Amino acid sequence: MQIGVSTASFYPAALTEDAVELMGKMGIKNLEVFLETYSEYDENFCMDIAQVLNKYDMRASSVHTLSTQFEPQLFALTSRQRDDAVKIFKKVLKGAKIMGADIYVFHGPPVRANSMPNMDFKRIGRITDELCDMAAEYGVRLAWENVCWCLYAYPEFAIRLLEHTKSNIYFTLDIKQAMKSGYTPYNFLEYMGDRLVNIHLCDYDEEKRLFMPGRGSFDFNQLKRLLDKKGYDGPVIMEIYRNNYKHYSEIMDGVKHLEQIFS
């Protein structure tokens, strides 16, 4: 498996381009580029990031965005809202291609409490197919991530979505988001099947506090065994928050811990 780090792990202490540079100096070879705002979706910005990646012989396996800026509007009820959101979406896809990333980590719309039973999966599936087709034009796979405050907040969402889409939707597993949703990561894995193409990892304890990998109580070895059974060999991305560590050197401690288990 390909161990990497998300640039989001440095937010807000380092800007995206500085985070990539820092990881290059650390010797990290795989990363997820979290584009944080509209100006970072521009072609020139992504070309600058690509130059830093090449400088350190790094690979961006995936891109992520601040999804609330436009992803909810991709499912809006008016064509004007959707069209404007699609323009931004395509800019990010072009940026992903420039940086060599073939996975787009997707949150989708937020969800209101008690609205899950009323989801219109026929409509969600149709729009998802359109987005996946757009992504494919840039050589990118749309990987819908489980997130506690979005549509994909419960495990069965994946199978319901697959019932209403074609075969080109994929998934990102986030173990902390599974915990925050009140489930285990294994509940989500059951329904992701062979569509799993990306994983976000941090550590946490019984009190749901988040930690650098190796400092909490999550059983990474159990996760590794289940991923091996599935034949998973894709990216394993450490995504932590800046308040989960004091010094940048601790980033490498987390990477080394994951490498010992997943590499």
pLDDT of residue 113: 59
pLDDT of residue 167: 80
To which residue do tokens 């420039």 refer? 98
Backbone angles phi, psi at 184, to 5 degrees: -95, 160
To which residue do tokens 């494919």 refer? 136
Average pLDDT score over the chain: 96
Helices and strands per DSSP (H, E), number in the chain: 9, 10
pLDDT in tens, 211-255: 999 999 999 999 999 999 999 999 999 999 999 999 999 999 999
Between β-strands 203-204 and 210-211, what pairing exists: parallel, antiparallel or unpaired?
Answer: antiparallel
133/93 Cα distance (integer angstroms): 11
Nearest to 100 by CA among 144, 68, 52, 28: 52
Give the count of alpha carbons within 13 A of 115, CB side only.
13
Confidence of residue 30 (pLDDT cuts 50, 70, 90): very high
Residue % of the chain over a pLDDT of 90: 95
Confidence of residue 7 (pLDDT cuts 50, 70, 90): very high
DSSP state of 140: -
**Bond prior to 12 in cis (omega within 30° of 0):** yes
Amino acid at 88: I
Amino acid at 36: E
pLDDT of residue 117: 58
Residue 63: enclosing H or E segment and its boundaries? strand 59-65
81/93 Cα distance (integer angstroms): 19
The correct CATH number of 2-262 out of 3.90.550.10, 3.40.50.2300, 3.20.20.150, 3.40.190.80 is 3.20.20.150
How crowded is residue 177: how many other Cβ atoms within 10 Å of its Cβ? 23
Nearest to 37 by CA among 9, 17, 51: 17
For residues 96-105, give the mean pLDDT: 98
Instruction: Provide DSSP, 58-99.
Output: -EEEEEEE-GGGTTGGGG-SSHHHHHHHHHHHHHHHHHHHHH
pLDDT in tens, 108-156: 999 875 566 578 999 999 999 999 999 999 999 999 999 999 999 999 9
Give the count of alpha carbons within 13 A of 49, CB side only.
31
pLDDT of residue 139: 98
pLDDT of residue 114: 59
